Amino acid sequence: MARPIFVHETQSFNVPAERVFDAWLNPAQAARFLFASRTGNVMHCEIDPQVGGTFTVTDRRPNPDGDESFFEAQHRGTYVEIDRPRRLVFDFAVEPFSGSTTRVTIDIVPGASGGCELMLTHDLGEAEDAVHYVERTRRGWSAMLRQLEKVVGTRLWGFLRTPGTA
């Protein structure tokens, strides 16, 4: 019997937990870090921030075969748990790479001096090929969390609304 395969990443932030949590559910902020890659461009980011709600982040990436063409990757998820500002859980799939759904859990713990620590766990499941995605998945989440640190650390001008409000 196969065992589940997990990827764990942790990142500390010098901003309040609420600010880090809200960035995951705010399309304007999420598009700046969520599935954004060095060589791709996020073309679309739609988020319905409620339990049972979904998100879609579409990015355009160069084809890995070396020619000058591009393809679009669709990152899709369904929110399973939203407990602001402590926990966010979603089922997740990436097309065209995999049709199977995995689960991502984000726990955010307030820290000393107003900062927080984010712990991300990605359950890749028990499929035989899951082991082949561990390093790629770890590198992807690590890069996204470093970019998230830049996004939430940027001074915001104007109004910042809570996700899902008018």
* pLDDT of amino acid 97: 64
For residue 111, the tally of other CB atoms under 10 A from its CB is: 14
* pLDDT of amino acid 3: 87
Mean pLDDT by 10 residues, the chain (166 residues): 88 97 97 80 93 94 63 90 98 80 97 93 90 92 96 66 47
* pLDDT of amino acid 166: 40
* pLDDT of amino acid 154: 72
* pLDDT of amino acid 72: 79
- HEC letters along the chain: CCCCEEEEEEEEECCCHHHHHHHHHCHHHHCCCCCCCCCCEEEEEEECCCCCCEEEEEEEEECCCCCCCEEEEEEEEEEEEEECCCEEEEEEEEECCCCCCEEEEEEEEECHHHCEEEEEEEEEECCHHHHHHHHHHHHHHHHHHHHHHHHHHCCCCCCCCCCCCC
State how far the Cα of 64 lies from the Cα of 2, in Å rounded to an integer.
Answer: 31
* pLDDT of amino acid 129: 81
* pLDDT of amino acid 130: 87
Q: List alpha helices for 42-160, DSSP H.
A: 134-153
